[in-house]
Amino acid sequence: MSYITKEINGKEYTFDVATLNIKLVTYGGFYGTDIRVDVKVKCNNNEDEFSVELCYPMGDAYDYYSEMDYSDLAEIFGEPAEEIESDFSAWYDKHSDKLEKDYVNLFIDEYFWEEEEPFQEMVLDELLSDKSDNKDELITLIVSDADEITTIETDEDFMYIPDFMDDETTDEEFENILEYRKGYPCDSWGALKDYESFKIIVNKYARFEVEMYLSKYAACNYEVGVGWGNIFEYANEMLSKFLSREDIKTIKDLKDYLANNENRILLED
C-alpha cells in the first residue's frame, strides 16, 4: 500500500494505491514485457478497483539463465548439466516457456512487490494518462460535492440543432418558432452521434451526462443557418453564463440543479 500525491487541476490529491495482482500478458524480453496489474485505489473517501497493462523493460531471460551455474539448472529440470552446457541455446529453446514465465515472476517478486511504492506510482501515472481507458473512472474518485466549480465545458466539438433560423425568417415567424431547440452531439465530420446527451466536464475531472437546449435567441445570434454548426466555444461560453444565472457555485449546486430540472441545461445568451 502506498500513499501518492498528485496535482490535478491545480489541487493536490492523495491516492492510496494497493496492488492486488500482477500477471504476465506477453513476454518481450529486453524490449519490453507486457503485464496486467490490478490495483485498488482510494481517494477522497472513495475507492474502486482498476486494471491496467504496462510494458516494462525486464531484461532478457536468456541472458539471466545463461549466467547461472549449469548444475543449478540441472537440479531444477532433472537434466544432466553437461547436456545443458554443450548446447545451451537448444536447451533454452526446449524450456523457453517455463523459463520466461519463471523469470518474469522472479522479477515481479524482487522489484514490484519488494519495492512497491515506485511501481504503484508508475501504475497510477498510467491510469491517469490521457490514453488510459480508466482515466474518467479514476478521476471521479477525487470529486467532492463541496468543490467550487472553476471550469465547465462540453466534451463535444460540434452540436446539431434540428430546428434552425436562416436569413429569410421574418420577425413574426421567429416569434412563433419553438422557444428552445434541443442540441444533439455530432462528430467533427458532421455526423450525428448515436446518443442524445452531452458529457459536461467540470473542473476538468467531474463528468455529467446531460441534455442541452439552446434558446432560439442564442441560435439566432449565432446564425446557425442550415442547422449544422461548430458551436463548441459558444456553448462553453453559455455554460459559464448558465452557472452565474442559476447561482451554481459548487459541484453539489450543479447536482441539485440537474436533479430538479430533469438533467437538462438551457443555454442562453
* pLDDT tens profile 65-122: 999 898 988 888 888 888 888 999 999 999 988 898 888 888 888 777 766 668 889 8
Which own/partner contact pairs does 243-248 have at CB distance under 8 Å and 24+ positions apart? 243/149, 243/152, 248/149
CA distance 200 to 159: 13
Mean pLDDT over all residues of the chain?
84
* Claim: this prediction has a pTM higher than 0.75: no
- How many other CB atoms are there within 10 angstroms of residue 31's CB atom? 9
Q: How far apart are the first and last CA of the chain?
A: 50
Sort strands 206-215 and 264-267 into parallel, antiparallel or unpaired: parallel
Q: pLDDT by residue (tens digit) across 25-63?
A: 888 877 788 889 999 999 988 899 999 998 888 888 889
Q: How does residue 166 score in pLDDT terms, banded at 50, 70 and 90?
A: low
